[in-house]
Chains A and B, each alone.
Chain A
């Protein structure tokens, strides 16, 4: 039973079409990896789900509720969280203030904060530090914790390991697994295949704004040439 169903998204930047019938289905407690080259439309797809760019076609359903006509600010309230590419923390604000923004629309903010900090305990010691001064890995943890403050059913992660040291990448990978084990449906965008193989349940390859192929992780493991075909490994 899928938590989130996205069907037939079209989106344009001016005249050029960035999404062509983009569709995905996500189940609770699974990690779906969206892979694709630079400019394939991965970031655009996540923004279209969040409603921060305009779609010209398509439908989105979360837990049986049709969200297609809602304004952008209602999407997170309905239960979809987004960790954007390049982190986009409020660098001048403290860790606590960043989390407070995540909590701003929650009714029971104490419980939500405990939940988020429980998933990312490293942050508890840093609550009053300016978030711009955190290490790269900690900043990524903070963006994920901030997103978890809305206690989402679905989380969209846009290249969370981009620009991180290998040790920090391992930390993020563990965090993704914790989210999944908590029953959250994870849509993970990555370019580095080696970063996703250990955590993914399913893989979707995207190119020119549409999904070209879908595989289970076992299919990919058994035939690594798939990766060459769709993304070009090493990219």
Chain B
């Protein structure tokens, strides 16, 4: 048996996983980095993105590419708005107290899950990919849609990076992240920056959710796994570090793909969880995090 095709397939699968993971985890990391909020409801924003994609697919007639394009823009916007409201109505009121935010985001997560269940029911819903074209490799055909996922993820992450490093909004976010009080002293409306960051983080999860539906299915409980995996990535990569989060997502996505193809998905999950345990023991600030900067 020739191993090369399997290796290629596993790598591709791993990269697709890594892309989705990278988007989701960066959202979580951004929110934690700037606001010091551990957002347990993050997986639900991902789920809402997926459900939004399904809703668009059922409501909008015509070619699946049209409803998909609409979903890719509208679902994240609605999810972002929802997140900003949650920030204003709940997180701001409890003053971003660390324990209270964990408990209340758990609450938000249940509310979103149950509302989705009550509205759309318990069934898993499939969505057609926007295009079916297969890319032929010598050994197998591979869905071009999966390459599209990788492309969108890379483009979005590059945009995020540029925004954080080179835009005024990014500078305000970084200033808020480093020192909230000093940011206030320079007229930066920290409350608004927080709402924007929380919305932005949720939107990244929602985009990942939209991207993933044609591959898997939309379901009200689908947020669990990405939440857990994002926590793993964020811890391994170093809390609040963008490059660390990207590197960890690729590392974990790839190893997940390889282990799943060659062994079993369960082993893959065991391996990533083990990695987290090791990182926490030997390098608690994360593989790429700087010691001393929380």
| Chain A contacts to B: CB under 8 angstroms | 47, 50-52, 71-77, 81-82, 84, 88, 90, 92-93, 97, 100-102, 104-105, 146, 150
What's the minimum C-beta distance from A149 to chain B, rounded to whole angstroms? 8
A97 to B178, CA, bound (A): 13
What's the minimum C-beta distance from B165 to chain A, rounded to whole angstroms? 10
Number of A-B residue pairs with CB-CB distance less than 8 Å in the complex they form: 64
Across the interface, which residues of A come within 8 angstroms of B175, CB to CB?
90, 101, 104
What's the minimum C-beta distance from B173 to chain A, rounded to whole angstroms? 11
Q: Assess whether B86 is interfacial by the CB under 8 Å rule.
A: no
A102, B184: Cβ atoms closer than 8 Å: no
Q: Which of B171, B183, B184, B189 lies at the interface centre, i.e. has the most chain A CB atoms within 10 A of its CB?
A: B184
Can you identify 18 A-B contacts, CB atoms within 8 angstroms?
Answer: A50-B184, A52-B184, A71-B191, A72-B184, A75-B185, A75-B187, A76-B185, A76-B186, A76-B187, A88-B179, A93-B174, A101-B175, A101-B186, A104-B168, A104-B171, A104-B175, A104-B186, A146-B186
Interchain residue pairs A-B with the least CB separation, the first 7? A105-B187, A76-B187, A77-B187, A72-B184, A73-B189, A82-B185, A101-B175
A216 to B294, CA, bound (A): 46
CB-contacts of B156-215 with A (<8 A)? 168, 171-172, 174-175, 178-179, 181-191
A88 to B182, CA, bound (A): 7
A82 to B179, CA, bound (A): 14
A89 to B185, CA, bound (A): 12
B188, A105: Cβ atoms closer than 8 Å: yes
What's the minimum C-beta distance from A100 to chain B, rounded to whole angstroms? 6
Across the interface, which residues of B come within 8 angstroms of A72, CB to CB?
184-185, 190
What's the minimum C-beta distance from A233 to chain B, rounded to whole angstroms? 32
Given A73-B189, A77-B187, A105-B186, check contact A84 B171 (CB 8 Å): no
Across the interface, which residues of A come within 8 angstroms of B186, CB to CB?
76, 101-102, 104-105, 146, 150
Across the interface, which residues of B come within 8 angstroms of A84, CB to CB?
181-182, 185
A214 to B168, CA, bound (A): 44
A50 to B175, CA, bound (A): 17
A146 to B188, CA, bound (A): 14
**Contact among A52, A74, A90, A146 for B187, CB-based, below 8 A:** A74
Across the interface, which residues of A come within 8 angstroms of B293, CB to CB?
92
Nearest neighbor of A91 in chain B, beta-carbon distance: B178
B190, A73: Cβ atoms closer than 8 Å: yes
A90, B188: Cβ atoms closer than 8 Å: no
A199 to B172, CA, bound (A): 35
**Given A75-B187, A81-B185, 14 further pairs, Cβ under 8 A:** A47-B181, A50-B185, A51-B184, A71-B189, A72-B184, A73-B187, A76-B185, A76-B186, A77-B187, A88-B182, A90-B174, A93-B178, A101-B186, A104-B175
What's the minimum C-beta distance from B97 to chain A, rounded to whole angstroms? 15
Across the interface, which residues of B come within 8 angstroms of A101, CB to CB?
171-172, 175, 183, 186, 188
A104, B188: Cβ atoms closer than 8 Å: yes
A90 to B182, CA, bound (A): 9
Across the interface, which residues of B come within 8 angstroms of A74, CB to CB?
187
What's the minimum C-beta distance from B175 to chain A, rounded to whole angstroms? 5
A52, B185: Cβ atoms closer than 8 Å: yes
Across the interface, which residues of B come within 8 angstroms of A81, CB to CB?
185
A45 to B187, CA, bound (A): 19
Across the interface, which residues of A come within 8 angstroms of B178, CB to CB?
90, 92-93
